[in-house]
Structure 1
């Protein structure tokens, strides 16, 4: 795999968005001791390598991640990328969960802030980062629809949304993409969310496709997480769950060696091979890891390989996040019906 990797493009949704088959999640670039210049170099390497799909959010930093990407896109690189950012999360606490707002006035203010920080005239894909369960999704969508009409955003996305919420939002204005956690060790979306997206022609953007670094670093990662690293609080990385998941990882390691690729490339290839409507966004702060990740597009898995990985993945133990977070706005809860809201 020493040859240059040619990254194909994929059609996401039915409204015309085309992105690189593998994107770049930029969140971790605001959580590293590395310099801003090093992160800009990584972003430039990604763009020059053919990765056109960059993912950020106003809550990353907060705000500093968008500022970083804005700096990296100067000098003619804006035209080479499809830029995705998000709004809606106003604060994050592992103890209390998320504070979220989808208020229409806030939607407009958040978009204006992101446009300014990114230094761009429009956002390609603008996501509702988490669903505000206190107001009808239709009200949030009406504000987003107006932003499309004003030319400030091109396409609308949802992140961590339930099937009902996706359908209701899509009825107001076409949803182009749904972002969700999907990897060999996070499979719950396959039951209802993925089928709903495909029924409606909505693209799928998996975040954490490497299990939050588990499939790239494994036990070494789990044992060396910094004191402030949020992954210390994730059940999959704790106690008996971790022991069980390390057995799973060893089986994936053995399979990767047989395929002549790395464990992370195999895990990413599994996600990539879920369909041409899928574009995962692995994150990294290292150029060497980035180059390893994009090598996954060259890994071809047979039906037997996919079956074997399905079997291995069935033994994963542990929830995605601590209870408080799962019970807040990570639980795909639905919003109040618009009819009851209008009746107030």
Structure 2
């Protein structure tokens, strides 16, 4: 069982990922389970109609009782789609409660293992959002709660209302600010730190070439890391990662994810996939041997001035 990897279900929602099918999405979840992955991360806003929730629920129905008991589900509320189809933050307590209830209904479960505030709503005091999650936990709809994409100060304000058991924040070799900020703060307060963007939208998987042309509708070219000098610098890093990966018998994706989960304070990495064969790249990802970790650290140190993506 791989406790270092959480399957992130944003890709299978099909909002920004091209060519997603319901059949492949469900098969991907089963492939992850077969590979020993037992933690799954979804959200009310993963899909215009809750596709990630629904597909997770469909996959869970196929499991035997013993395997189902091992599965841990992380849910998130606090983002939803407006009437114009644009995703927005909404931390109003009433909305959080309704969206959590609907997300549970879509999945077909009664309780989240962890329920998180997806994003801080600047229009709503975070303490009010935390109160709503506390009430959901008291109603037996979440075993514990946490907050994503929050500063240490915001995490502390959240924790003043209800214990904050986990955070989510971005981390990869090209973007390391969270190590000395959010992750260090979480470690200090005995809080799980789950990191996403470990492959930086596929860039650190080593499969996007310098001359790659993204399909129409792909959102990745909008990120600064995929533009100009930042992208060239990233490709230089990836070229050297390929050499280390070959020497250690790993894929570049496995090496990049393993680096992330090797960092102090990191509990697990959220990794997305929407096709079953993609699971093979990270099914064995875990903390790196010291010598390899040192080698990758030295390589990523050259990217410390890369712009955020």
- In structure 1, the residue matched to 2:195 is 206
CA deviation vs aligned residue, 1:121-154 (integer Å, no higher than 9, x gap): 1111111111012222111111111111110111
Q: Which residue of 2 aligns with 1:56?
A: 42
The equivalent residue for 2:108 is 119
**Helix, strand or coil at the partner of 1:219:** coil
Deviations 1:302-343 (A, max 9, x none): 2x432332232233365434xxxxxxxxxxxxxxxxxxxxxx
Secondary structure, in 3 states, of the residue corresponding to 2:260?
Answer: helix
Partner of 2:6: 23
Give yes or no for the alignment of 1:129 onto 2:123: no
Return the match for 1:101 from 90, 97, 122: 90
Identify which of 21, 36, 39 aligns with 1:35.
21
Shift of 1:80: 2.9
Native 8 Å contact 1:178 1:197 kept in 2? yes
Whole-Å separation in 2 of the counterparts to 1:218 and 1:288 = 14
Inter-partner Cα distance in structure 2 for 1:133 and 1:87: 15
Spell out structure 1 runs of 4+ moving beyond 6 A: none
Displacement of 1:277? 4.9
Measured after TM superposition, the shift of residue 222 of structure 1 is 6.8
Q: 1:229 offset after TM fit, Å?
A: 1.1
TM-score (norm 1): 0.81
Q: Residue 47 of structure 1 corresponds to which residue in structure 2? A: 33
For residues 59 and 24 of structure 2, what CA distance do their matches in structure 1 show? 11
1:182-261, aligned counterparts within 5 Å?
182-220=171-209, 223-261=212-250
Q: Tell me which of 274, 288, 299 is aligned to 1:300.
A: 288
In 2 relative to 1, CA 291–207 (structure 1 residues): closer, same or farther, beyond 3 Å?
same
Which residue number in structure 2 is paired with residue 82 of structure 1?
A: 72
- Could you say if the C-alpha distance between residues 71 and 222 of structure 1 is closer, same or farther in structure 2, counting changes exceeding 3 Å? farther
Structure 1 residue 98, shift from structure 2 partner: 5.9
Distance in 1, Cα, partners of 2:162 & 2:294? 37
Q: Is the 8 A contact 1:222 1:237 kept in 2?
A: no
Distance in 1, Cα, partners of 2:267 & 2:7 = 13
Query: CA separation in 1, counterparts of 2:144 and 2:174?
Result: 29
User: Structure 2: where are the runs of 5+ without partners?
Assistant: none
Aligned residue number for residue 168 of structure 1: 157
| Alignment: residue pair count | 298
Tell me the SS of whatever aligns to 1:183. coil
Q: Deviations over 1:62-98 (max 9, x none)?
A: 2111111111111445423101121112249xxxx96
Q: 1:141 to 1:166 in 2, by over 3 A?
A: same
Corresponding residue to 2:301 among 314, 317, 331 = 314
What's the TM-score, normalizing by structure 2? 0.90
Preserved contact between residue 152 and residue 185 of structure 2 (Cα < 8 Å)? yes
C-alpha change, 1:135 and 1:68, in structure 2 (3 Å) is same
The CA deviation at 1:275 is: 4.2
**What SS does structure 1 have at the residue aligned with 2:99?**
helix
State whether residues 234 and 319 of structure 1, in contact with CA within 8 Å, keep that contact through their aligned partners in structure 2.
no
CA RMSD of aligned residues (A): 2.1
Unaligned 5+ segments in structure 1 are: 1-6, 9-19, 322-344
